[in-house]
Amino acid sequence: MQPIRIVSLNRVIRWTAAAVLGACLAGAAPPALAAAPSVTVSADQALRFGTFFTDTSGSRTVSATGAVSGSAIVPLTGTAPAPAQFTFTYDRGNNANVAYSLLISVLVPGTASQVSGGVTGTIARFDTDLPGISTLIPGQTAQITLTGCQRRICSRTFRVGGTLQVARTSGGAQLAIPLPIVVTVLAEL
Amino acid sequence: MRGRLVLAAAALVSSPALAATGQSATASGQAQAVIITPIIAVALNDLDFGSLTSSRTASGTVTVGAEGAVNYAGGAAPACGGACAGVAPARFLVSGEAGRSYTVSAPATITASGTLIGGGSAPALAIDALTVHLDSHAGAVTSIGQLDDKGEDRIEVGGRLNVPAGTSPAHYRATLTIMVTYS
């Protein structure tokens, strides 16, 4: 003969409430299935200063909008100058259809420079087409609010230009200067 | 217990408000540039018409071809028989970025100023029909060349010296400037 298990009334009520709540949530909208928010940045295109020569020193500027200018250099045929392009993507982790903004910071860490033989290339400042950030100085963060986010994924593509200073003592060089971009989400507004 | 259940429900419903505050992401971009070795031309030797004689009654010319051929015409003749040693076109060594094409420009005419053997200045002589030959275009006279895999090319420049009748004995010298630029 099986023993009879006696359950208290209090526990029955608790289980019932939990079951009802679970059933309600299971049938609710997707926001209940929230994932951890995440941030990614991809480098889509390099910042290309093109091909040129300079006697001892000169500079070439490629702006975020693609405008090209130079000082004490002679442009030559070769790869066309173009700004770098990055894509920032924020996944808020749920499908809630709520408008939001993002406060982010953008940073180019360290100095962007390279020495190759008798040629030294340095990028002392950058500019972007992100609204509100006209200048990016290596080592200094710039803050910007991205508005108009609505869906789970909020993505922005932005371009980065800069001024390459070249000092030359001999020969030529192919410069490939690392250009890391760090984007931090400071707040979801 | 009811209170605990309510809190649990609130936590589940409010989870969309989680934000990635403080989360960072880094992209490794790159800045690229090609800095070209400047192109230069160095004079290896002068355009030399050698020593010659001129007729008292007939004008003449001495032509030094870019490829080295020498021709005397009219009242001009070599002072040392068939042809004087040292007669040669101007030669330049061009150095720059290997494989790049370049353009050379040279004047069509230049003027040689003279110093009389006995002292004093002599009437100027015209040098015209300057021709440019680039080794990268062997056999052809052209103004566009291409640097070889060492980043070099050679240029020869010839010309024609016009010698009026009765030209006095003198030393003549002219400056020939060429300019090379990447194409």
Count of alpha carbons within 13 angstroms of residue A142, beta-carbon side: 20
Cβ atoms A118, A128 nearer than 8 A: no
Residue B162 lies in a domain: yes
Which residue's structure tokens are 């020593």? B51
Residue B163 lies in a domain: yes
CB contact under 8 A, B29 and A178: yes
Judging contacts by C-beta atoms under 8 Å, the chain B residues touching residue A94 are 15-16, 18
Element housing B12 (H / E) = helix B2-13
Q: For B53, phi and psi rounded to 5 degrees?
A: -115, 155
CA distance B105 to chain A (A): 18
Strand, helix or coil for residue B37:
coil
Residue B13 lies in a domain: no
Angle, CA B30 vertex, CA B100 and CA A136 arms, to 5°: 120
Q: Which residues of chain A have pLDDT under 50?
A: 1, 7, 9, 12-13, 15-32
- If phi > 0 it is left, if psi is from -120 to 50 it is alpha, else beta; for residue B108 that is alpha
Say whether pLDDT at B10 is over 70: no
pLDDT, residue A33, reads: 55
B177: tokens are: 């400037």
Q: How many domains does chain B have?
A: 1
User: How large a percentage of chain B has pLDDT more than 90?
Assistant: 66
Q: How far apart are CA A24 and CA B39, in angstroms?
A: 78
CATH number of the domain at B41, please: 2.60.40
Residue B76 lies in a domain: yes
Element housing A11 (H / E) = helix A9-26
pLDDT, residue A29, reads: 45
Residue B14 lies in a domain: no
Who among B16, B27, B35 is closest to A31 (CB)?
Answer: B16
pLDDT tens-digit map of A64-92: 999 999 999 999 988 899 999 999 999 98
Higher pLDDT, A160 or B6: A160
State which amino acid sits at residue A61.
Answer: T
Residues B57-64, mean pLDDT to the nearest whole number: 94
Out of A56-65, A164-173, B31-40, B74-83, which region has the weakest mean confidence (pLDDT)?
B74-83
CB contact under 8 A, A180 and B29: yes
Query: E strands of chain B, at which residues?
Result: 24-35, 40-45, 52-54, 60-64, 70-74, 76-78, 90-95, 101-105, 110-116, 121-134, 144-146, 152-163, 170-173, 179-182
Judging contacts by C-beta atoms under 8 Å, the chain A residues touching residue B18 are 34, 36-37, 92-94
Radius of gyration of the CA atoms of chain B, in A: 35
pLDDT, residue A151, reads: 86
| B53: nearest Cα among B154, B166, B130 | B166
pLDDT, residue B83, reads: 63
Say whether pLDDT at B9 is over 80: no
Q: How many domains does chain A have?
A: 1
Q: Give the mutation candidate from B2, B23, B35, B179 for the A interface (greatest A CB count, under 10 A).
A: B35
Residue B45 lies in a domain: yes
Residues B103-116, mean pLDDT to the nearest whole number: 93
Burial B19-31 (b: 16+ CB within 10 A, else e): bbeebebbbebbb
Range of the domain at A86: 35-188
Out of A14-28, A33-47, B17-31, B86-100, which region has the weakest mean confidence (pLDDT)?
A14-28
Count of alpha carbons within 13 angstroms of residue B183, beta-carbon side: 12
Who among B13, B21, B33 is closest to A121 (CB)?
Answer: B33
What pLDDT band is residue B171 in, cutting at 50, 70 and 90? Answer: very high
Residue B6 lies in a domain: no
Residue A29 lies in a domain: no
Q: How far apart are CA A34 and CA A36, in angstroms?
A: 7
Residue A13 lies in a domain: no
Range of the domain at B75: 35-182
Q: Is B79 on the interface with A (CB under 8 A)?
A: no
Q: How far apart are CA B26 and CA B174, in angstroms?
A: 64
| A164: nearest Cα among B27, B30, B33 | B33
Residue A10 lies in a domain: no
What pLDDT band is residue B4 in, cutting at 50, 70 and 90? Answer: very low
Judging contacts by C-beta atoms under 8 Å, the chain B residues touching residue A48 are 31-33
CB contact under 8 A, A86 and B29: yes
Residue B20 lies in a domain: no
CB contact under 8 A, A88 and B5: no
Write out residues 84-113 of A within 8 Å (CB-CB) of B: 84, 86, 88, 90, 92-94, 96, 98, 112
